[in-house]
Structure 1
């Protein structure tokens, strides 16, 4: 195989075979970065000229003027949650555990988005002008709570984003033989360019493009591999899996009869629980997902997040099942890239299951498609994380502690610097993790322990009036310490030593994650009830919008004696479009918003809008309960028994999984075009008129 050659081990890049030339790898990564940067520059210009959306304003840069519709929000959430893990790691789970692995991966991705719909609509009710989740924390728990949660949020974003860059760069090296350092630096480079210029709305647009390309590629991968002559269709794959199991080639420890075709898999179940915990923290502690809910219109938050919750199930389930089983079937054949050597555990752990299988069946075209899908998944995550971290740096740190009277343009400028800083810093972290010996599997198991402690204290900030400031500050710190202690002591107790190999085992990681996630509930209850204090939700109405530079630079609204002035800012047409129905006015005596009594504070929404939000909140709760009941109980529990899938049951399983992929296309690709047709047509007409005018003027 002339295209196959060994690559040198660099950092922790697992020795493998390169499927493409280095020139192809460099060309695709650099070329795609330049193309997407150009698209966003053009889109930002169109938004400003024809849609009056100026990313140079902080409200636009951070929360897209709170005017993003259902379709585009659903697509953006789907894209931001479609991490490289959901394609690559789900295939690894399919390879390791068979049928059960990809399903548990999918189940661990869905309910968190539905939960975010609850939190998003609740935030619109209680903190209607919030920009970041940390702004809510600061208003309720003051400086110390704000600092603790800011650190935990940044750790979560850095950990999640760095793991995606690390995984992506290691896979690029494994596919093309690029230098590890070059791959790690170039992968986020283009994202930094377009995110710094376009802000949050830019990430919505690129997220949509990423979704279109990646989802179409995923369907092509799944169907093309399944119907190939090597696999022989749905029935062919089933028969070949039975054949290799009958020949005694594989026995999956912890699976019923060691079969790949059973849902009773101890390893898959433990992974599923750990995955649920990890994704819960990644969603809750990621300011980016909160900002997308703040950016959506009043009546769009719940339906958009719930659409994404349904659609995301399609990615890991169908893809991971087909690729995991196919890799088991063909890994001993001459067409497999590692032949005649066996597929090593290190190569599997590094995520090479999907790219090697693609190359074996589809050749160079499959490897190129894999590289393209990889770029889409990683850059979407990085863009969302960049906005989240830059917002923390500019709004939660700079505007809060360094320059409280910062003008709109100053905040945006710091946001730009924050995006660049985040890109440089996260690249360094990814390189450090790689040279330190981490890979995708280790990060996937360790992440829940590090990022989970503040999950429930964050929930309590919006849902429980009884959590005190001390409880909010102390409980996540103690929770983190608890999780780490349980993790390391369990690894030491079971395996006799603490190392990269033992800390990535399922039992220590799972027990550590449980301690890290749930112990803060106990700590918060104990500290809160030791000295009870009740919080009044009306305090959140003191959160204000940022003023443009042509208004007062001070964010606190003041007035002359006896005059009437808006408490929460003057509403623009964009505010009204976002659902803010009418400006709220109140008589003040030269006082800022912070000086007003609770009885003087009023909600910016009218009664009808508030009533609508309360209905949406009930719908969001009902949908969350439904999703959790179906994906975590009603569907998997009856299957967790001594049963090997029959041919007909397996056929239905695969067919439904593939159908779900096409359903996702309608939900997050086609529907956003229909939903946003007014803006699309308005932009098209504006461009046409501008070109026509230039043509006439040129004559």
Structure 2
């Protein structure tokens, strides 16, 4: 078996993690200071989590794309192309694109029915009380934990493989810069940095594409890539593909991935408060366009990177410059995310390794920033404000948001280290997420779209669904492979079974429970009772010259007008 030796020194890994992290943190601190100094903006609790509720279409779309570009977007899509052929990469992209576009429906309804909300859990609490709130609080936090742990485990693994950097160190250092700039800028920081991160990732993707298909001395044309991939299929035909070919859209494994992707990613979008944060922060006119544009724009990223680097890795595996020459990548190495770096190193040398590291760093930090804001909003408005201090001032709430960001960053670093020692890979978490969380997707949708679903149906159906999904997953594994291990539970059919049961079982439970325990007939106007935070104390403390009247902080105030009103008041 060919060993994958790090092409870069450890210093390169630490330079990117600490150096670029410090650059982004410094940029955000400076931006926050300039906005406060010249635009008279004050980072209040509301501003920290909602950015004035007036962000325009372009920034929201860029943030959606950036938040949805995980390490798996770049690495798993390329791995699936490498393992299953051209249908593998397409299955990944197509399976994770529709959810973002579909979420636009919930984004619009949230802006219409609950203009003062901070999280979707506030809507659940208003409709179903504390019992329902506690149930969905678990699913929201579980989603954030699974997504963040996947980001850190995959990111640290790539940095370790390419630079020899200590995996434990990268797990703890990767979040540092993100936590700092999120603390200073709140969700506005994520919008601004997401835009820059997305630009960098897309530029590197295009460099790879033009190099592989136009200018490379190793490949350099679509025809040469095609011929080399066809030759590779003769050396090691793909099991389950038409005639063992890579160049086919008939692939059993890729078809299963498409279904798992479609099912599992409903949970990671609809239950991740980060996407609700962006919907709440958007101006009412921007929500639909931003999510539709963001979903379609994101589709191009995994489609192109997998078609480029997945096929390139197959094509160059016999090149003397290939990292594991004369052997191809093992399935373990491929599932660890080394397909893209291996192809980049073979074609571009050390420059390809640096470009790969930059992409992964951008993907980890931008997506993790959204997770930090999501968790801080949930902790601040759904735990602290609801159960600890209902009369908390805006000043207390912003301190609580800061505490949540720091605590979550540290906790997830530790959790990711545990996953590393447990041998749990990025691909395993990615496919298993749907089994754990997808049972709550349909109830969350119906919370906003059906007035009939009652408390019993809302609480019991996701719990039953998750229990049945885990049971189906493990029973299928045991019956097919006779033992329960990480490898056997990661096989296609058990994962497919668990994901299908998780998403669709509530469609059976909800109508039955709603009929048996009577429809709720919920009054949608109650969502308008959700209130904003009284920020009088922190606004006056920030600038004693501000003159406030009741209209400044009333619930009827139009979204995004608080800071501009204050600025106008000062001029008068």
Indicate if the aligned counterparts of 1:445 and 1:506 stay in contact, CA closer than 8 A. Answer: no
Indicate if the aligned counterparts of 2:393 and 2:537 stay in contact, CA closer than 8 A. Answer: no
Q: What residue number does 1:135 align with?
A: 122
Q: What residue number does 1:233 align with?
A: 221
Structure 1 segment 289-300 matched on structure 2, within 5 A: 289-300=275-286
Q: Displacement, 1:319? A: 1.1
State the alpha-carbon separation in 2 of the partners of residues 523 and 204 from structure 1: 39
Indicate if the aligned counterparts of 1:53 and 1:60 stay in contact, CA closer than 8 A. Answer: no
State the alpha-carbon separation in 1 of the partners of residues 218 and 412 from structure 2: 41
Q: What residue number does 2:355 align with?
A: 369
Structure 1 segment 603-614 matched on structure 2, within 5 A: none
Indicate if the aligned counterparts of 1:278 and 1:447 stay in contact, CA closer than 8 A. Answer: yes
Q: Confirm or deny that 1:30 pairs with 2:18.
A: yes
Q: What residue number does 1:269 align with?
A: 255
Q: Displacement, 1:337? A: 0.6
Distance 1:302 1:257, change over 3 A: same
Q: Confirm or deny that 1:509 pairs with 2:490.
A: no
Match of 2:377 among 380, 391, 409: 391
State the alpha-carbon separation in 1 of the partners of residues 158 and 402 from structure 2: 29
The total of aligned residue pairs comes to 554
Q: Displacement, 1:551? A: 9.2
Name which of structure 1's ranges 333-342 and 203-212 shifts more when overlaid on structure 2: 333-342
Q: Displacement, 1:344? A: 1.0
Indicate if the aligned counterparts of 2:53 and 2:559 stay in contact, CA closer than 8 A. Answer: no
Q: Confirm or deny that 1:327 pairs with 2:319.
A: no
Q: Confirm or deny that 1:54 pairs with 2:42.
A: yes
Q: Confirm or deny that 1:315 pairs with 2:301.
A: yes
State the alpha-carbon separation in 2 of the partners of residues 444 and 521 from structure 1: 23
Gaps of 5+ in 1: 1-5, 7-14, 554-563, 581-699
Q: What residue number does 1:487 align with?
A: 473
Q: Displacement, 1:209? A: 1.1
Q: Displacement, 1:550? A: 3.8
Q: Displacement, 1:567? A: 11
Match of 2:173 among 177, 180, 186: 186
Indicate if the aligned counterparts of 1:483 and 1:516 stay in contact, CA closer than 8 A. Answer: yes
Indicate if the aligned counterparts of 1:297 and 1:577 stay in contact, CA closer than 8 A. Answer: no
Return the TM-score normalized by structure 2: 0.94
Structure 1 segment 274-673 matched on structure 2, within 5 A: 274-532=260-518, 533-550=520-537, 569=555, 571=557, 574-575=560-561
State the alpha-carbon separation in 2 of the partners of residues 52 and 458 from structure 1: 38
Distance 1:75 1:263, change over 3 A: same
Indicate if the aligned counterparts of 2:85 and 2:248 stay in contact, CA closer than 8 A. Answer: yes
Q: Displacement, 1:573? A: 7.9
Indicate if the aligned counterparts of 1:108 and 1:272 stay in contact, CA closer than 8 A. Answer: yes
Q: Confirm or deny that 1:156 pairs with 2:148.
A: no
Q: Displacement, 1:277? A: 1.3
Match of 2:81 among 91, 94, 110: 94
Structure with the larger helix share: 2
State the alpha-carbon separation in 1 of the partners of residues 258 and 152 from structure 2: 23
State the alpha-carbon separation in 2 of the partners of residues 53 and 107 from structure 1: 40
Gaps of 5+ in 2: 541-549, 566-572
Indicate if the aligned counterparts of 1:100 and 1:268 stay in contact, CA closer than 8 A. Answer: yes
- Cα distance per residue 1:503-558 (max 9 Å; x no partner): 000100010011111112222222111121211111111111112134999xxxxx
Indicate if the aligned counterparts of 1:91 and 1:354 stay in contact, CA closer than 8 A. Answer: yes
Distance 1:577 1:406, change over 3 A: closer
State the alpha-carbon separation in 2 of the partners of residues 529 and 280 from structure 1: 26
Indicate if the aligned counterparts of 1:104 and 1:268 stay in contact, CA closer than 8 A. Answer: yes
Q: Confirm or deny that 1:244 pairs with 2:232.
A: yes
| Secondary structure in 2 matching 1:544 | coil
Q: What residue number does 1:603 align with?
A: none
Indicate if the aligned counterparts of 1:95 and 1:325 stay in contact, CA closer than 8 A. Answer: yes
State the alpha-carbon separation in 2 of the partners of residues 539 and 446 from structure 1: 36
Q: Displacement, 1:412? A: 0.6
Q: Displacement, 1:41? A: 0.4
Return the TM-score normalized by structure 1: 0.77
Q: Displacement, 1:341? A: 3.2
Distance 1:577 1:174, change over 3 A: same
Q: What residue number does 2:132 align with?
A: 145
| Secondary structure in 2 matching 1:79 | helix
Indicate if the aligned counterparts of 2:474 and 2:484 stay in contact, CA closer than 8 A. Answer: yes
Q: What residue number does 1:168 align with?
A: 155
State the alpha-carbon separation in 1 of the partners of residues 560 and 384 from structure 2: 26
State the alpha-carbon separation in 2 of the partners of residues 96 and 78 from structure 1: 26
Distance 1:274 1:106, change over 3 A: same
| Secondary structure in 2 matching 1:206 | helix
From the CA coordinates, give the structure whose radius of gyration is larger. Answer: 1
Q: What residue number does 2:28 align with?
A: 40
State the alpha-carbon separation in 1 of the partners of residues 310 and 117 from structure 2: 43
Q: Displacement, 1:29? A: 1.0
Distance 1:163 1:551, change over 3 A: closer
Q: Displacement, 1:167? A: 0.5
Indicate if the aligned counterparts of 1:113 and 1:306 stay in contact, CA closer than 8 A. Answer: yes
- Cα distance per residue 1:663-689 (max 9 Å; x no partner): xxxxxxxxxxxxxxxxxxxxxxxxxxx
